[in-house]
Amino acid sequence: MNRVSFDQGLFAESLGESARRRLGSAALLHNFEDGEFLYHVGRPAERLWLVASGGVRTLRTQPNGRTTVLESLGPGEPFGLAAVIPGSPHAETAEGVGDGTAWFVSRDTLFAALASDAALAQALLPIVARRLQGAHDRLFSFAHESVTSRMAHELLEADDGLRIETTRRGLAEAVGTTVETAIRVLRRFERSGWIEAGVGWVRVVEPGRLADVARGAQFDS
């Protein structure tokens, strides 16, 4: 299993040497299983996390049980950023995707590093800003774009030219809709010859067509 240390990845590379040493020496490694929750929304944000291997997704679940994925994170990416705000609770739940590992440092260690190394604050600010911008973009998408458009965009984001290993439920949660609606949209794409799909996977065949729909073009299957 490929794994990054706490001093690897774009986040760590933007830190000063002293901050890397301080956080790296204090970081602990947590092994998680697929579907394991690392923290829950509303709980005190007591740790800053960094994906070491595998994947982590952050999400919110509505009272009716529908889950919406906020972010999907890979090795080297930090999460649990509410830890930088004194007394703040988590605004999301973090869940392991597949078996993996994640580093974490305590809030006390983080604050001590922030107080002694300005590079750490400078590294965190653009990350928080990008996450905030991403949240605004998703909010706009959910409010103004159709499920069909959002599904096309999600498939294009995940497309690497090979099969996308995912479930209908996972795609539904990523675009903020029900599993039933996600299945209907995927079937329309499949009938049009734009994707191929099977149990647990999807392959993009016509990315240009999906790109048109993602930009809001009318789709008549």
DSSP line for 60-108: EE-TTS-EEEEEEE-TT-EE-GGGGSTTPBPSSEEEEEEEEEEEEEEHH
The tens place of each residue's pLDDT in the chain, 221 residues long, gives 577 777 777 677 767 677 777 788 888 999 999 999 999 999 999 999 999 999 999 988 877 777 888 888 989 888 998 998 888 899 899 999 989 999 999 999 888 888 877 777 777 777 777 777 777 677 666 666 888 998 998 899 888 888 888 889 888 888 888 889 999 999 999 999 999 999 889 999 999 999 998 887 777 65
Architecture of the domain made up of 146-214: Orthogonal Bundle (1.10)
On the question of a common fold for 9-142 and 146-214, the answer reads no
- Give the predicted TM-score (pTM) of the model: 0.69
- What CATH homologous superfamily does 9-142 map to? Jelly Rolls (2.60.120.10)
CA distance linking residue 81 with residue 22, whole number of Å: 18
In the chain, where are the structural domains located?
9-142, 146-214
The one-letter amino acid code at 138 reads R
> What pLDDT does 175 receive?
85
